[in-house]
Chain A
Amino acid sequence: MIGRLLARWLPSRAALPPAQPPVPVSPRDVGLHDAVLDGWFQNDSGELLQGFAITADDTVLDVGCGEGVATLFAVRQGASVIFTDSEHDKVRNLAREVQAQSTNASLGLVSNSLPLPLADGCASKVVCMEVLEHIAEPEPFMAELVRMGRPGAQYLLSVPAPVGEHLQKGIAPASYYQSPNHVQIFTPERFAALVEEAGLVIEHRRASGFFWVMGMIFFWAGERAAGRDPAGAVRDRIQAPFMPLMESWAKTWQDLLNQPGGLAIKQILDSFLPKSQVIIARKPVQEVDVP
């Protein structure tokens, strides 16, 4: 069998034009491509995620901005931005990038406590991605988010999906499940209840990211192999040079997405084993009277 495979392999190799070095595959690029297929970062329509369009009229509040993918997308749509994170470096670096790209009003805040020093109703769009799972008491935090949105404001909220979180147990370091990392695992029901009980009306729900479920497991495996026990916000630390296992997985996924039926397979895997669950919700225009 090996001989036959090699025999097939070698002549085709010989027929190739000489010495094209293989193009390295970046897991981050493949992850971005995967996210775009899920409806993220729609430059043409200005939707950060399908159903969540940002315009130049918006003031976008990005709570837990990290490296700032959402904030920078909003800046490209001409919106004003307010971004917060508990890590000082993140806010400082993002502030530089925002100022380099936009003359609109912007504000970066370093904060890891409530209340945030922002006025009621300061934002028309509120983004809070992969933050709630870090918070011991998510209810008052959600109430803060609702306070800062103006009536009619739209919210984009995401947390890890439970299946991926449970799968990583025993593979991710113990610190992954401890403060300041993930102290909550939200079932879809609990996540929806948190949003609705805070007074928001859910418009869309979705779950996706099988690529990253596997990617994260392979990331931990590689870190372990390298003798590292990483701490801090994990996704932001997945940077070149990538470990061979991550690269190999990214290649597999890229091949799949390039296949004619690749999207269908991706969607089946996403629904089976999602990394992340997203809710798009809206603050009612009129406060509901509480009797």
Chain B
Amino acid sequence: MLSLLKKLRAATPAPALSQPVAAVASKVDPYMLGLYDAKLSGWFNQQTNELFKGFAVSADDTLLDVGCGDGGNVHFCGMRGAKIIIADIDAGKVDATRQRLSDTPAREVECHVTDCNPLPIADATATRVVSTEVIEHVDDPAQFLAELVRVGKPGAMYLLSVPHPSSEELQKDIAAPEYFQKPNHIRIISEEQFKAMVTEAGLEIVSHTQYGFYWSMWMLLFWEAKVDFSNPDHPLLDHWAETWQAVLDSPRGAQIKQALDAVVAKSQVIIARKPAASV
């Protein structure tokens, strides 16, 4: 249940695939479709080497992913040849991600099992810092962000994401109770709060975007379908995936997705920069 969105994105090896989901079998795979939808929102751009729009990764980078989950993000970055440092509280996740990285040209892989308080990493180590869908779980976001800022080099880029309040509010009375309890989402972070957290940690915000209407609806339907997360086979979910596939395939699909993502979003993403000279 922990960090569902990340699981959803990471559940497939597909960052390495470049085929859009339209090419797959007649039954729409909800995860592949979600990945395709995420790509349309700016994730996993193979052409530009951007993990997310505005966040390019190259072989010169040292990329730290804190709360790496199943390793979907670092796999993409490993394929760019970067040095990868992963940190997660879950030893199993760290091990699985290490293995997942073994088929990438990452120039080095460093792994830490840690509660991140503090991170066992020296000051000014990373040129890229990624932490997706983590801040909503931690007890002290300010301390957590301070650690992320400490280990970034001056000028380092940050990719931070948390659930968008629109989707969290929709799920409030629908989700399993543990979804909003420790160790899951212990807080709902508004757009303003998210911006303030990042700014107060000493980072400069470059962009703040939101996406994931598809996943927001999918999650609502998922709670009701009461199927297993690893095999969400249910006509309700199938029909929604078919519908969304048809939306994206329609001539105005991108525009419709954009309009709906603006109203109900699964996730909000901030790209930020650590100032070149320390403040």
Main secondary structure of the interface of B (DSSP, over half): helix
> Are A272 and B233 closer than 8 Å at their CB atoms?
no
- Interface readout for B82-110 with A: 1 if CB under 8 Å, 0 if not? 00000000000000000000000000000
Asked if A268 and B252 sit within 8 Å, CB to CB, the answer is no
Of all chain B residues, the one with the shortest Cβ separation from A258 is B236
The answer to whether A224 and B170 touch across the interface, beta carbons within 8 angstroms, is: no
Select which of A2, A224, A259 is within 8 A of B252 by beta carbon.
A224
B1 touches A (CB below 8 Å) = no
User: Shortest CB–CB separation between residue A209 and chain B, in angstroms?
Assistant: 15
Within 8 A of B (CB), among A6-61: 6, 8-9
Secondary structure at the A interface, as helix, strand, loop or mixed, is helix
Residues of B in contact, count (CB < 8 Å): 37
- Give complex CA distance A264, B259 in Å: 25
Give complex CA distance A272, B166 in Å: 9
Is A222 at the interface (CB under 8 A from chain B)? yes
Residue A255 at the B interface, CB < 8 A? yes
Asked if B224 and A244 sit within 8 Å, CB to CB, the answer is: no
Q: Which residues of B contact A255 (CB under 8 A)?
A: 235-236, 239
Report whether B221 and A256 are in contact in the complex, using a CB–CB cutoff of 8 Å.
Answer: yes
How many interface residues does A have (CB within 8 Å)?
A: 37
Q: Which of B21-29, B64-72, B155-163 contacts A (4 or more CB under 8 A)?
A: B21-29
Q: Is the CB of B247 closer than 8 A to any CB of chain A? A: yes
Partner of A272, one of B27, B170, B246, B259: B170
Residues of B within 8 A of A259 (CB): 224-225, 236
Given contact pairs A221-B251, A256-B224, A256-B236, A248 touches B174 in the complex (Cβ within 8 A): no
A217 within 8 A of B: yes
Q: Is the CB of B260 within 8 A of A244?
A: no
Q: Is B256 an interface residue (CB 8 A)?
A: yes
- Give the B-binding residues of A (Cβ under 8 A): 1-2, 4-6, 8-9, 163, 167, 169-171, 217-218, 220-222, 224-225, 244-245, 248-249, 251-252, 255-256, 259-262, 264-265, 268-269, 272-273
Q: List B residues at the A interface (Cβ < 8 Å).
A: 11-12, 24-25, 27, 29, 31-32, 169-170, 173-174, 220-221, 223-225, 231, 233, 235-236, 239-240, 242-243, 246-247, 250-253, 255-256, 259-260, 263-264
